[in-house]
Structure 1
Amino acid sequence: MTARRVSMADVAERAGVSGQTVSRVVNASPRVDPETRARVEAAMTELGYRPHRAARALRTGRTQTIGLVVSTLASVGNSRMLQAVADAAATRGYALTVVTLGADGVPTPPPLAAGASSGASGRVGPVAAAFERLAEQGVDGAIVLNEATARVRGADVGAAGLRLVVVDSPRDDRFGVVETDHAGGARLAVKHLLSLGHATVHHLAGPEGSFAAAERERGWREALSATGAPVPPVVRGDWTSASGFAAASVLLESGATAVFAANDQMALGVLRAVAESGRAVPEDVSVVGFDDVADAADYRPPLTTVRQDFDALGSRAVAALVDGIEAGAPAAFETVPTRLVVRESTAPAR
């Protein structure tokens, strides 16, 4: 036998209030005093009450669902951001719908079956098609992550009528922006290595076209220029450890004693390449990464890295979007700070 769904009337009876009061609490009305709201919320928790999303959508015109647009979920940063956004959305009572653009820019899941309404996705660019797909699913707004932001900046973002918050992008009046202080974190990494006596710091950069990679490269250049240290040629990877390993041969041939890698995965490839060359980290080469992934402390040696606060980034992106949806808050621009975590992969220059 299927258990009966807990109703507003059940909550009202448990809390000793009217059904209208419960409805006001469910819909976040300010017309409920804090003590009564706490009593109703306690009753909801005790009974396991869950608001009926479709019924609420009819009342409020909102589905309590937000979209997430991302190029790929294969990278550690994007998967961490997905988790952070999902957690923050759940805390605010919102569901999450994800659209990935893929390497070819085509939004997935694939187009609707024959006979179904496909909107204009066959006539517009991939980003606009992704937004239209989300609009067809009734989302109240969307968050765009990292590499996908470059495509959004060049697209007609207003066609689908979605409120947007973009993670890692230059300021843009069309949408809210929440970014990590990539350049500031890179400056921390370079200053740390220079303070250890290294004459300069070589940079293993991320892919061209990435806002985060460009900002980290900017911070690296600024930190070297500020001290008058030489600025070596940039060596570029694609965020993967394999690309870090391949690029490390160029860095080692140039005589690098200090390497700032634009993410921890590429730094892992550098650690392997240094070991296979017969040299040691940090005795011969100091290495700093960026992100502070969960495994960074277990690299060999434990990796000195710049910590990016994915939880704060996701939480602020969701807050900016939901505040815009529910209260009409203006598009915001926020920067989330980074910090250097010093471990055992850096040491004074010989």
Structure 2
Amino acid sequence: MSEERGAKSANIFDVARLAGVSHQTVSRVLNDLPNVRPATRARVQQAMAQLRYSPSPAARALVTKRTRTIGLITPGTADFGPTSIAMYFNVAARAERYSVDSVTAPDTDAASIRSVVEGLLRQRVDAIVLVVTDLGVLEAVRGLDLGVPMVAAAATQRRNPQLVSIDQYRGARSAVRHLAESGHRRILHIAGPPRNPDAVERIRGWRDELASHQLAVVEPHHGDWTAASGAEIGRTLELAPGDAVFAGNDHMAIGLLSALRARGLQVPSDIAVVGFDDVPEAAYLSPPLTTVRQDFRALGELMMQKVLLAVEEPDGLTEDTPLPTHLIVRESSRS
């Protein structure tokens, strides 16, 4: 009789302890939600049967307070990379039956970021996700007491279980290595904004690869990722036949190509050009643009996997190796 009373009084935490899982995992099994391994699901179900655990509707509501909504903070720009990451994250979230409440953060000061975050928290989101284009935004959010998990897409040297990224550093090195091995001894760089983490890592990769070939470093020129900024820099860039330019993204490379044509310089016979991103237009430029391809779909999926872990199994969060890039060689860098 006492055993029966003990079984009837079992709760979700007793089930979790017996199955060797978190109570969040038990909740996922109870609600037939995805992302529970079959073996884990079977172990939880066996524990429930052994304890004769049958939650009441009220108890089930208690353990499923989540809204299945994620707050996504994106920069106030339409740049190709952040837009692609946000799109693929939304796709991955829908596949997991989560909705996404997206907001932009056009200002990067701490007060503006706090206002954006507080607005999402009022919507009772289960997690906050950042697409980081300014290191100040990441630091501002980290300084807040969120009360929910935070995951960020940010390329930084410092690894953190909450961060996911594409390997900007090695991508930049592959671009510069290609140019150096093609015989170019002076490789200039048009970089992105100084506080952008992707730009910082691409500059670091460019510098280190130049050093490995014992090539001189000319300080980079900073654009704002737009074709207009690439064209403006390209109009006054000091160049000599045989030089090469590694542009921090494809749009700045597109502007550079236009400026070089206006100056009567031929690509690639006079100047070789390499971009970064592999935007859809890159293969159809004249000449087709050599570039570094990023897998934004994989990054969006990785972000969602990280969110699920942060919400369901926070003790399982580990540092992730940045996703690889792929150099795509086309006519703009072929001598």
3-state SS in 1 of match to 2:128: strand
Q: Does 1:233 align with 2:240?
A: no
State how 1:149-160 maps to structure 2 within 5 Å. 149-155=135-141, 157-160=143-146
Contact 1:24-1:32 at 8 Å conserved across structures: no
| CA spacing shift, 1:333–1:315, aligned 2, 3 Å | same
Contact 2:268-2:334 at 8 Å conserved across structures: yes
Q: Deviations over 1:17-64 (max 9, x none)?
A: xxxxx9642477768669xxxxxxxxxxxxxxxxxxxxx976511111
- Map of 1:77 onto structure 2: 81
Q: Does 1:337 align with 2:324?
A: yes
Q: Does 1:310 align with 2:296?
A: yes
- Map of 1:284 onto structure 2: 270
Return the alpha-carbon distance in structure 1 between the equivalents of residues 226 and 117 of structure 2.
29
Q: Does 1:25 align with 2:56?
A: no
3-state SS in 2 of match to 1:291: coil
Following TM superposition, by how much is the alpha carbon of 1:255 offset from its aligned partner in structure 2, in angstroms? 6.0
- Map of 2:4 onto structure 1: none
Return the alpha-carbon distance in structure 1 between the equivalents of residues 285 and 212 of structure 2.
31
Contact 1:291-1:307 at 8 Å conserved across structures: yes
Contact 1:101-1:148 at 8 Å conserved across structures: no
Q: Deviations over 1:60-118 (max 9, x none)?
A: 1111111111222411111111111101111111111111111x348xxxxxxxxxxxx
Following TM superposition, by how much is the alpha carbon of 1:230 offset from its aligned partner in structure 2, in angstroms? 1.1
Q: Does 1:208 align with 2:208?
A: no
Q: Does 1:346 align with 2:333?
A: yes
Q: Output the aligned Cα RMSD.
A: 2.7
Gaps of 5+ in 1: 1-21, 35-55, 107-123
Following TM superposition, by how much is the alpha carbon of 1:285 offset from its aligned partner in structure 2, in angstroms? 0.9
Percent sequence identity is 36
- Map of 1:101 onto structure 2: 105
Following TM superposition, by how much is the alpha carbon of 1:250 offset from its aligned partner in structure 2, in angstroms? 2.9
Contact 1:69-1:148 at 8 Å conserved across structures: no
| CA spacing shift, 1:256–1:67, aligned 2, 3 Å | farther
| CA spacing shift, 1:24–1:156, aligned 2, 3 Å | closer
3-state SS in 2 of match to 1:189: helix
3-state SS in 2 of match to 1:300: coil
Q: What is the identity, as a one-letter code, of the residue corresponding to 1:95?
A: S
| CA spacing shift, 1:70–1:315, aligned 2, 3 Å | same
Gaps of 5+ in 2: 1-28, 44-59
Contact 1:204-1:260 at 8 Å conserved across structures: yes
Q: Does 1:144 align with 2:130?
A: yes
| CA spacing shift, 1:267–1:172, aligned 2, 3 Å | closer
- Map of 1:87 onto structure 2: 91
State how 1:167-246 maps to structure 2 within 5 Å. 167-170=153-156, 176-246=162-232
Contact 2:243-2:272 at 8 Å conserved across structures: yes
Contact 1:66-1:96 at 8 Å conserved across structures: yes
| CA spacing shift, 1:156–1:177, aligned 2, 3 Å | closer
State the aligned residue count.
291
State how 1:30-45 maps to structure 2 within 5 Å. none
- Map of 1:319 onto structure 2: 305
Q: What is the identity, as a one-letter code, of the residue corresponding to 2:253?
A: A
3-state SS in 2 of match to 1:303: coil
Contact 1:179-1:313 at 8 Å conserved across structures: yes
Return the alpha-carbon distance in structure 2 between the equivalents of residues 146 and 296 of structure 1.
24
Q: What is the identity, as a one-letter code, of the residue corresponding to 2:303?
A: A
Q: Deviations over 1:263-291 (max 9, x none)?
A: 00000001111111111111111110011
Which residue, out of 286, 306, 329, partners 1:300? Answer: 286
Return the alpha-carbon distance in structure 2 between the equivalents of residues 88 and 149 of structure 1.
25
Which residue, out of 58, 61, 68, partners 1:64? Answer: 68
| CA spacing shift, 1:155–1:97, aligned 2, 3 Å | closer
Q: Deviations over 1:191-235 (max 9, x none)?
A: 100111111210000011111101000000000011111111211
Following TM superposition, by how much is the alpha carbon of 1:331 offset from its aligned partner in structure 2, in angstroms? 4.1
In the superposition, the TM-score normalised over structure 1's length comes to 0.76
Return the alpha-carbon distance in structure 2 between the equivalents of residues 33 and 161 of structure 1.
31
Contact 2:34-2:96 at 8 Å conserved across structures: no
Contact 1:202-1:259 at 8 Å conserved across structures: yes
